[in-house]
Structure 1
Amino acid sequence: MELLAEPLAYGFMQRAFAVSVLAAVVCGVLSCWLVLIGWSLMGDAVSHAVLPGVVLAYVLGVPFAAGALVFGLLAVALIGEVRDRSVIREDAAIGVVFTVLFALGLVLISVTPSQTDLNHILFGNLLGVSPEDLLQVVLLGAVTLAVLVLKRRDLTLYAFDTTHAQAVGLNPRRLGALLLAVLALTVVVALQAVGVVLVVAMLIIPGATARLLTDRFGRMLVLAPVLAAACAVVGIYASYYLDTSSGPMVVLAQGVSFLAAYLLVPARGLLRRCGRRDAHAPAPLA
């Protein structure tokens, strides 16, 4: 009990736990749809494309979240514009947009005079979270979760079958745009925890791990955020006692959980499949 209580005696550790758990839960819920639709690369694109927005927000003296959200939505719009109005396929459009915006952000960091280490934008700064940052993350996280919960049925139908969604009166294009907007918001929430570089891990690993554990999407929506939150807590405790960087330790904890699920899932883990020559692929989601 003393080992568990010691880090909680410090205010900065309390805020680190709060921000990381909230970011993990939001990312965990969204990751279920990203994994199902196959938008892993889109999550990577948006998470990197927000970098110039964060740097410009610092220069202008406005909250980092404002700049990150603007450039996240800008990246989504640019990807859609290039994809829809040219012969370039979506994966190539994503690659062009996010690498250019990420490079712009790196250039801005290199030329921006600052008393603050702007590299924290790249790799996160959980232990430097202020009460104002925590409030910002709580508000954005609450909005993001509310949208996902209220629209979960429509988004799930869109993910499984866009043709059927259109047949029952839904607009797949609007639902896709909504999901992309929520993705941009989620990136802003997670940015404070793990930085630009590692956000994509929090957006993909929880959903991928939950997919290994269940064939039902409803259960995925519960398992993914629970696993993500548990890994956030374990990662921060490990970083405290091992004296390592907090954000990367959270991601490493998620990686370990994925590896454990991949190897040990009773129904279809790798170790079980090695002993069964007639193993089948995972059943489709229900």
Structure 2
Amino acid sequence: MGRARKGRDISGWLVVDKPAGMTSTAVVNKVRWALSAKKAGHAGTLDPDATGVLAVALGEATKTVPFITDALKSYRFTVRLGAATNTDDAEGEIVATSEARPDDAQIKEALHGFVGEIMQVPPQFSAVKIDGERAYKRARDGETMEIAARPLWVEELTLVDRPDADHVELEMVCGKGGYVRSIARDLGAALGCLGHVARLRRVWSGPFDAADGIGIEEIDALAKRPELDARLLPVETGLADLPEARATEEGAARLRNGNPGMVIAQDLDYGAACWASHAGRAVAVGRFKAGELWPDRVFRHGAA
């Protein structure tokens, strides 16, 4: 029999503005400690040196993490031109250099090739699994791996600033699984000048914005206090991109027991993914079929 996990049964989302030099796991552990939470997780890893939105899910909100992971995200990042590194960012060793420097017009033209459905090869130093082992572990041992390209949807990729000949600042809106470091690497290759990420910030992720994020220092200052509880967003925030159906009283009772329940919905196709609410709280997530929601995930006590 497993040991019971200690902590409070607290549910909701805390939007953290992650500082550079801290892993995503360390942020989650900090939030869990500060809120004395029994269960916590995050929606989308940020590299240690990256900053910006890290949405931490607590309790029942962890059931909505996949919907935030799948949502569009926006990044603002600086590419250092003229040098490639083994990690595709500024923390790695420089492995090649170039004296070529494209002008703004050439950069804007090259960006067109990185918009839409593209194929992207993850960095050697990434969490991709190769034969059951993380790529970064093998890369640390000096191994160079063949990593398969994978599809990525890029909604937008624009040039926002050119502070000097060696640096270009870009903004990207993309879907799930994108590596900004790969964009910098491949853009540098396409321009014939090489490149890597110098700075990276996630501006927003689905419904969560860095402008609304809480810093690590404030989390420390408010730890174990009700003021930090007050910063939590509802579980339902993680369902913002899904259509909502309203469960009847009887339907909500059936859904809470894991059974299909009657819902009232508009403009939902048969089999469409949606979530059911009752009295304004999430009851379940599932598929709409002939006036009923067939649940995949059920929220305890309406995700209170």
Identify whether the pair has TM-score above 0.5, normalized to the shorter chain.
no
TM-score by length of 1: 0.28
Using the size of structure 2 for normalisation, the TM-score is 0.26
Q: Which has the higher contact order (CA 8 A, sep 6+)?
A: 1
Q: Larger Cα Rg: Structure 1 or Structure 2?
A: 2
Q: Which has the higher helix share?
A: 1
